[in-house]
Every structure is written in C-alpha cells, then in structure tokens.
Amino acid sequence: MAPRPPGRYDRTGAVQRYAAGLGRHFFDPATIDAVAGALEMSRRRFTPLFREVTGSTWANHRAGLRVAYARQLLEETDRSIVAIAFESGFEVLSSFYRAFRRRAGVAPNRWRREHRGGSGGRSSAAVTLEPGHFRRET
C-alpha cells in the first residue's frame, strides 16, 4: 500500500483512536452524526470504517461497553438498577433492560443475584474506568 501524501487526514487512524478511547467515554451522550462530524467525516464514511475497525456497529459496540460496565456495577455495588442504568449511559430505562437482556441473557436483577462476589457484593466503592477495562477503587 502506498503511503498517504503528507497532510492528508487519516480517517482509518482517526476511527481507530476514537474506538480505542470509547471505553472511557461510552456513557457520554453522543450521536453517530456528532461523532462522525468531530472526526471530520460523514456518517456514511464513518459507519463502515467503525465496523472495519471494531467488527461491530457503533451502536452495538457502545451498548456492549455500557452493559459490561453495568454488569460490574451490579456485581460490586448495591446501587439501584435504575441508577446503574443511567450511570452506564442509558437514557431510557427500557433500552437498558432490552440491551442488558440481549447481551447477558437475563434481567439485571437476576444477573446481580447470580453474580455477586464472595463478599456478597455489599460495597459502595466507586467503580472507575481504565482504558479497555474497569477497575474498582478501594
């Protein structure tokens, strides 16, 4: 593959950097059009590049990150399911339940009962994000 001319915007690289950082910003309200615009490309160009980089659509990838975070909060805290849904970035509770059930195979309250840690999950410690994974603060 021939190198790109100097100064030409590397769209694939921009999408790769965005996707790599999405694990720290998945809970932010954003639209696909706003993200594409921020990366200086159209939605039509962004959509296939994101799928090429991640193997998933933007909406599915972001929902997967949100549900993974919600799973951890359910396992490690006593926060209410409603609070966890909103903290995970879901703006509509029914969307949270639907996405959670689709990815986890069970409702959030059942997930919590079945996946509590050895301490019974009775912790109010904050759960924070690290690039690519979640970490619990002590």
pTM of structure: 0.77
Question: Domain segments of the chain: what residues?
Answer: 11-58, 67-136
How would residue 3 be classed by pLDDT, with cut points 50, 70 and 90?
low
Taking the CA atoms of residue 51, residue 71, residue 98 and residue 38 in that order, the dihedral angle to the nearest 10 degrees is: -40
Q: Residues 45, 81: contact at Cβ < 8 Å?
A: no
pLDDT for res 117: 64
Predicted confidence (pLDDT) at residue 83 exceeds the cutoff of 60? yes
CATH of domain 67-136: 1.10.10.60
Helices marked H in 55-122: 58-76, 81-87, 93-104, 108-115
